[in-house]
Structure 1
Amino acid sequence: MINMNNLNARNLIGNRVRQARHKTKPKVTQTDLLARLAVRGIELEKTTISKIEAKTRPVTDIELVAIADALGVSVLWLLNIE
């Protein structure tokens, strides 16, 4: 479930992005994910995925949908609701 106690976090999906990248065979690197997002029209800086995973960068709704699609998971799963 969503932990509302961590008010310093800038997004809710950081841990799940890392988990989804690592559970695939072979693992999806941060660079792989950036390329998958670029194909979907989302151009991000090289360090953005690590910042998202560290919860120091907010994620837009469009990025959320693209990240879920690129990792083959649902938006609800990324948000830890499912």
Structure 2
Amino acid sequence: MRLRKQALGTRNLVGARVEMARKNQGMKQKELLAQLQVNGVDMNASGLSKLEGQIRYVTDFELSALANILNVSVDWLLGREK
């Protein structure tokens, strides 16, 4: 497992929770990317890495798809519920 080289950014609230939910489900980034593609979200590996590292913004379409794929609520991703 590779460790993050950069500190977490400040461009989104959901990145750390996306990574946590993905890893808790034993899902690799490649698998999440495939699910995003199936759900109409065009994202590459670099984009997902930057999203999880909170160094890129997240669109509303991406937020909705991530919540559905990871079986969590948008509110949970945003840190509004535990």
Compute the TM-score of the two structures, normalised by the length of structure 2. 0.84
> Which residue of the partner structure matches residue 20 of structure 1?
21
Q: Secondary structure of 1:9's partner?
A: coil
Gaps of 5+ in 1: 1-7
> Cα deviations across residues 5-32 of structure 1 (Å, max 9, x unaligned)?
xxx61111011001101111xx111111
> Which residue of the partner structure matches residue 81 of structure 1?
80
**RMSD, matched Cα:** 1.0
Q: Secondary structure of 1:64's partner?
A: helix
Q: What are the within-5 Å matches in structure 2 for residues 1-82 of structure 1? A: 9-24=10-25, 27-82=26-81
Compute the TM-score of the two structures, normalised by the length of structure 1. 0.84
Q: How many residues align?
A: 73
Percent identical among aligned pairs is: 47
Q: Which residue identity does 1:9 align to in structure 2?
A: T
> Cα deviations across residues 8-63 of structure 1 (Å, max 9, x unaligned)?
61111011001101111xx1111110000100000112211110111001001111
Q: Which residue identity does 2:36 align to in structure 1?
A: L
Cα distance in 1 for residues equivalent to 2:47 and 2:69: 15
Q: Secondary structure of 1:59's partner?
A: coil
Q: Secondary structure of 1:36's partner?
A: helix
